[in-house]
Amino acid sequence: MDIRRTGEFRNEAVRIALTSVLSLKQISDDLCIGLSTLGKWVAALKHDKLIPVFHDDKDLELAHLCK
């Protein structure tokens, strides 16, 4: 059975994973999602935070000014 999770659910799951003292295994079990799925969501968020997203040329210009 293929269950689609909303972005809000994913964000909340990642927030819990990053702030909780529980293991990823326990969190994934509690939320009824696969451990590898939760791991991918956490890794994707960490990756997204490392790579800035530029919405327009002004953002890109400001990024260059900050360096």
Quick check: 33 and 5 in contact, CB under 8 A? yes
pLDDT at 65: 45
pTM over 0.85: no
> What digits encode the pLDDT tens for the residues 9-63?
999 999 999 898 999 999 999 999 999 999 999 998 877 665 555 455 444 444 4
CA distance 21 to 54: 33
How far apart, in whole angstroms, are the C-alpha atoms of residue 34 and residue 50? 25
